[in-house]
């Protein structure tokens, strides 16, 4: 066909379609158009689509299903103004039918979309709930709008989905102690969890800085323990100690009625709320209310901020502690129908126990030689009580120390080690390793992010999480109930910030605990998450855009000895555009398709683009080229395995570290000097070395106290060329600095740089030396 005939033919087809006997358009979707997160187990696309109209009816069998249908009806009501209805008889067309199939497992569901109807199949309510969540994500993102939308066609691609979760425990922990978050926000989080098919909300209700649950028998827990002296204007770790007679004005708590309301609200969305009542440590708030609970019995105030080590803990010797805890737990178990009660168990410094006559007596009576065993006694005793009430105990991995209680489930947070150990002993575990599951960690460069506790857990890292560790036996793996993210709130004071830390990382986590392992595909997730961002946008969720940020990376090709600059963000198919020098960035900027050759210092402006518009934060950076870039580095003193930077050429990769010591650019030495030899590849004239370093004394990171530079033509005979020394200063500010050594210009091939660590500091603790780059000019 010639082009003109082709055009005429196409026109005919379009005309026929618009005036022809069928009103349906030939919709054709494929798997790439379906953006459901977490990814369903199986998904098939057929041609065609179902269109929701004002007349679409939900065909339901019972009240429970009606309540679930109502969730989508509500969405349509806000988005379109329609009032869709339910019925118990199947209409001729244009309906969504709930069909029960008892053969399907709990939480499993199926969706079959045809042009004139949709069938949702499940064994019970939780399956239908998830079918509705998937249907929500099959609809255009506009379904989440809060204002009436007249334009959108409410199409659902003709798909067949069969889906079920990989793990039974898919959780998020909210710390409402360090900063208090009330009922309304907790309900919003529950909505977000259900949307991502998560099913556990773990509420951290007790910690040093605030007791957040009303206990009727012990009113002082909330009249005193829920309030602290307001020092919110200061950094968490810079807040002064308070005296017990100072009145606390900052805080809050949830009443039992409110908690019951939260539990019921969550239950409708297949979410179990698990209460955490910390013991024996992280309980200063309780001791402030009832001093007799501690070994010393002295009055303390509720701390306003950071507290370390935690020595004011419950006395394990006096019976009154157990009377108190049993009373508290009784009330807790009346509020929370969950099978599990979390008893904390973490980070107890047990020095008071060592000196307390009651604790010593207890150890004697029970034949215990170590205080760790006393903690084990404590937890085992509480477990008996919890079990006697038909419940199960779960605690942080410290409950392994001194011997695990017989039926306890372990929440592994200090990496996966605790989980491995407990599972090997035949105990159930929930994996929440800090490396992948701590949502209080940074998700981008420290300088560009709101204040966080530390760490570096970007979206792509969360996506790499797997609750089953490769070294686990098949038997042990059966004990892995699932995984959970933890949002500690020392640095989180507002709901907007809390959302920022949760989303989109929750989406990545959801996929790791719901979808089959084989379905894990970062590239594919990167595409789907873009639609999720639109859905968040419409829902008014303040999600983090940190994953949009562009990261420059210098690549050294050792075979051709060439250095190039790569621009990437967390997504493999990103549309990145850039300009060099002082040019201004617009949609006409250079589209990044391949690494940029680099043989001189580069100043660039770059951004991620979507629909020809720059989105996220624009990157402006100068990557300083110097004589050592890309060269070989050998280590006289090896770097610590925790801080490897980007590997053996990290110190000469031209990319600088940020103030976040965990950002992956830093190499570090613990209690030791740095000493490296750089091979310049050929003889070159040099006159200066610069060592990039950081200090973060709060985290044990100190600048070097001296630098020495030696050069050599043969790599064995070195001559000292220069040095610098500086005095150690106590300084809590986190800072970056460069230490130069200049010398006479001379030709050399090998440069040895030694940075001397202070090694020990008067106030004790680890001493780290951190370096990100050695520049040679
Ligand atoms: C450790 S994880 C804690 C919490 C802190 C958190 C900060 C755990 C069981 N204990 O008390 O808030 O680190 O990341």
- The string of DSSP letters for 279-339 reads ESSS-HHHHHH-GGGBSS----PPPSS---S----B-SS-HHHHHHHHHHHHHHHHH---S
Q: How far is the CA of 658 from the centre of ligand 1 (A)?
A: 24
Rounded Cα–Cα distance for residues 758 and 769 (Å): 8
Per-residue pLDDT, 324? 98
Residue 14 has which token pair? 């379009």
Burial of 390 (0-12, 13-18, 19+ CB in 10 A): exposed
End-to-end CA gap in the chain: 66
| Residue 511 near residue 461, CB atoms below 8 Å | no
Say which residue the tokens 């392994």 belong to: 400
Ligand 1 touching residue 453 (CB < 6 A)? yes
pLDDT at residue 96, rounded to an integer: 98
Q: Distance from the CA of 97 to the center of ligand 1, in angstroms?
A: 46
Give the position, in ligand 1's atom list, of the atom nearest the Cα of 490.
12
Give one word for 321, left, alpha or beta, with left for phi > 0 and alpha for psi -120 to 50.
alpha
**CB 674, CB 758: distance < 8 Å:** no
- To test the ligand 1 pocket, which listed residue (208, 305, 306, 346) has its Cβ within 8 A of the most ligand atoms? 346
Ligand 1 atom with the smallest distance to the CA of 411 is 9
Q: Whose CA is nearest to atom 8 of ligand 1?
A: 346
Q: What's the gap in Å between 440 CA and the centre of ligand 1?
A: 9
448: its two tokens:
């560009």
pLDDT of residue 87: 98
User: Which element (helix H / strand E) includes 186?
Assistant: helix 183-195
Tell me the C-alpha distance between 39 and 197, whole Å: 11
Q: Which run of H or E residues covers position 184?
A: helix 183-195
The reply to whether ligand 1 has any atom less than 6 angstroms from the CB of 521 is no
Residues forming beta bridges with residue 396, ordered by sequence position? 411
User: Three-class SS of residue 552?
Assistant: strand
Per residue, what are the HEC states of 495-517?
Answer: HHHHHHHHCCHHHHHHHHHHCCH
Which pLDDT belongs to residue 558? 75
697's tokens: 């004394």
Tokens 């065609």 sit at which residue?
48
Tokens linked to 32: 């790439």
Query: What does the alpha-carbon distance between residue 652 and residue 612 come to, in Å, rounded to a whole number?
Result: 35
Walking along the chain (777 residues) 10 residues at a time, the average pLDDT comes out as 43 40 67 95 96 98 97 96 96 98 98 98 98 98 88 96 98 98 98 98 98 98 98 95 96 98 98 98 98 97 96 97 98 98 96 97 97 96 98 97 94 96 97 97 89 94 97 96 98 98 98 97 94 96 94 83 88 91 93 93 93 88 92 95 92 91 93 96 96 95 97 96 94 93 97 96 91 97
- Measured in Å, residue 490 CA sits from the centre of ligand 1 at 9
Q: For 471, how many CA atoms within 13 A lie in the half-sphere containing its CB?
A: 6
Query: How crowded is residue 170: how many other Cβ atoms within 10 Å of its Cβ?
Result: 28
Number of residues that make up the chain: 777
> Which ligand 1 atom is at minimum distance from the Cα of 440?
14
The residue among 567, 686, 704, 698 whose CA lies nearest residue 631 is 686
Task: Give the Cα separation of 291 and 228 in Å (integer).
Answer: 16
- Pick the atom of ligand 1 nearest to 346's CA: 9
In short, whether 703's Cβ falls inside 6 Å of ligand 1 is no
Question: Ligand 1 in contact with 236 (CB < 6 A)?
Answer: no
Integer-rounded Cα Rg, in Å, for the chain is 30
Backbone angles phi, psi at 357, to 5 degrees: -60, -35
- How much of the chain is in helix, strand and coil states, percent to nearest 5? 30, 30, 40
Whether 341 and 392 have beta carbons less than 8 Å apart is answered as yes
- Nearest partner of 506 among 292, 194, 279, 762, judged by Cα: 194
Which positions are annotated as active-site residues? 207, 282, 347
What's the CA-to-centroid distance between 698 and ligand 1, angstroms? Answer: 17
Compute the distance between CA of residue 776 and CA of residue 37 in angstroms, rounded to an integer.
48
The residues, any chain, with a CB within 8 Å of residue 20's CB and separated by 6 or more, are: none
Among 456, 488, 501, 662, which is best to mutate for testing ligand 1, by the most ligand atoms less than 8 A from CB?
A: 488
* CA nearest to 448, candidates 306, 548, 529, 572: 548
Minimum CA distance residue for ligand 1 atom 9:
346
347, 431, 437, 453: which to mutate for ligand 1, most atoms within 8 A of CB? Answer: 347
What per-residue confidence (pLDDT) applies to 662?
86
693: helix, strand or coil? strand
Query: Are 659 and 735 spatial neighbours (Cβ–Cβ below 8 Å)?
Result: yes
How far apart are the C-alpha atoms of 371 and 532, rounded to whole Å?
49
Query: Which residue CA neighbors atom 10 of ligand 1 most closely?
Result: 346
Location of structure tokens 């082709």: 6
Half-sphere exposure for 192 (CA within 13 Å, toward CB): 30
Q: From the CB of 130, is ligand 1 less than 6 Å away?
A: no
| Residue 428, burial from CB neighbour count under 10 angstroms (0-12, 13-18, 19+) | buried
CB 413 near ligand 1, within 6 Å: yes
Q: Which protein residue's CA is at the shortest distance from atom 12 of ligand 1?
A: 488
């Amino acid at each position: 066909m010639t082009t003109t005939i082709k055009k005429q033919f196409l026109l005919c087809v379009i005309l026929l379609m618009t005036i022809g006997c069928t009103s349906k358009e030939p919709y054709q979707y494929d798997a790439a158009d379906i953006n459901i997160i977490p990814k369903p187990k199986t998904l098939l696309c057929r041609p065609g689509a179902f269109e929701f109209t004002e007349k679409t009816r939900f065909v339901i069998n019972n009240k429970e299903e009606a309540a679930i249908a109502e969730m989508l009806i509500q969405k349509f009501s806000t988005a379109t103004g329609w009032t869709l209805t339910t019925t118990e008889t199947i209409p001729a067309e244009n309906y969504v039918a709930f069909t029960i199939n008892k053969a399907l497992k709990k939480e499993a569901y199926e969706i079959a979309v045809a042009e004139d109807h949709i069938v949702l199949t499940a064994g019970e309510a939780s399956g239908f709930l998830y079918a509705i969540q998937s249907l929500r994500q099959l609809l255009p993102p506009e379904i989440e709008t809060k204002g009436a939308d007249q334009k959108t066609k409410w199409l659902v691609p003709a798909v067949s989905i069969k889906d079920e979760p990989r793990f039974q425990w898919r959780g998020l922990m909210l710390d409402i102690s360090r900063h208090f978050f009330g009922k309304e926000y907790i309900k919003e989080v529950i909505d977000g969890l259900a949307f991502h098919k998560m099913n556990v909300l773990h509420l951290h209700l007790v910690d040093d800085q605030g007791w957040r649950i009303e206990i009727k028998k012990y009113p002082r827990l909330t009249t005193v323990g829920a309030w602290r002296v307001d020092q919110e204007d200061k950094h968490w770790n810079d807040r002064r100690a308070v005296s017990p007679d100072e009145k606390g004005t900052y805080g809050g708590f949830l009443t039992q009625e409110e908690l019951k309301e939260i539990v019921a609200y969550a239950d409708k969305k297949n979410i179990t709320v698990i209460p955490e009542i910390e013991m024996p440590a992280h309980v200063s708030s309780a001791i402030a209310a009832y001093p007799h609970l501690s070994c010393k019995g002295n009055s303390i105030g509720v701390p306003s901020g950071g507290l370390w080590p935690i020595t004011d803990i419950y006395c394990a010797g006096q019976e009154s502690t157990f009377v108190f805890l049993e009373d508290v737990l009784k009330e807790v178990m009346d509020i929370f129908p969950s099978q599990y009660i979390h008893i904390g168990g973490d980070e107890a410094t047990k020095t008071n126990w060592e000196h307390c006559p009651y604790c010593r007596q207890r150890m004697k009576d029970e034949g215990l030689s170590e205080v760790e065993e006393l903690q084990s006694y404590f937890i085992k005793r509480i477990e008996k009580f919890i079990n006697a009430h038909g419940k199960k105990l779960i605690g942080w991995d410290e409950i392994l120390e001194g011997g695990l209680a017989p039926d306890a489930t372990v929440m592994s947070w200090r990496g996966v080690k605790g989980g491995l150990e407990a599972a090997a002993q035949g105990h159930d575990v929930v994996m929440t390793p800090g490396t992948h599951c701590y949502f209080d960690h940074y998700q981008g460069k420290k300088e560009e992010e709101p204040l966080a506790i530390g760490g570096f857990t970007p979206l792509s890292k969360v996506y790499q999480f797997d609750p089953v560790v490769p070294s686990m036996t098949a038997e042990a793996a059966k004990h892995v109930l699932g995984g959970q993210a933890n949002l500690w709130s020392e640095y989180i004071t507002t709901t907007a910030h809390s959302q920022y830390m949760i989303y989109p990382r929750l989406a990545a986590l959801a996929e790791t605990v719901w979808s089959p392992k084989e379905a894990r595909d970062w590239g594919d997730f990167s595409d789907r998450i873009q639609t999720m961002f639109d859905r968040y946008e419409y829902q008014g969720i303040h999600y983090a855009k940190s994953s949009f940020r562009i990261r420059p990376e210098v690549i050294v090709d050792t075979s051709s000895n060439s250095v190039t600059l790569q621009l990437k963000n967390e997504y493999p198919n990103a549309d990145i555009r850039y300009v060099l020098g002082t040019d201004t960035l617009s949609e006409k900027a250079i589209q990044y398709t391949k690494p940029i050759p680099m043989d001189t210092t580069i100043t660039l402006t770059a951004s991620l683009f979507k629909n020809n518009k720059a989105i996220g934060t624009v990157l402006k950076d100068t990557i300083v080229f110097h004589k050592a870039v890309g060269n070989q580095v050998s280590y006289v003193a090896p770097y610590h395995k925790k801080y490897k930077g980007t590997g053996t050429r990290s110190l000469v990769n031209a990319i600088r570290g940020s103030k976040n010591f965990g950002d992956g650019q830093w190499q570090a030495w613990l209690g030791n000097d740095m000493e490296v030899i750089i091979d310049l590849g050929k003889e070159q004239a040099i006159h200066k070395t610069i060592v990039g370093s950081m200090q973060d004394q709060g985290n044990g990171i100190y600048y070097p106290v001296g630098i020495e530079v030696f050069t050599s033509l043969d790599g064995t005979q070195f001559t000292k060329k220069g040095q610098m020394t500086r005095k150690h200063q106590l300084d809590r500010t986190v800072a970056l600095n460069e230490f130069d050594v200049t010398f006479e210009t001379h030709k050399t091939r090998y440069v040895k740089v030694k940075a001397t660590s202070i090694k020990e500091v008067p106030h004790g603790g680890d001493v780290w030396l951190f370096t990100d780059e050695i520049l040679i000019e």
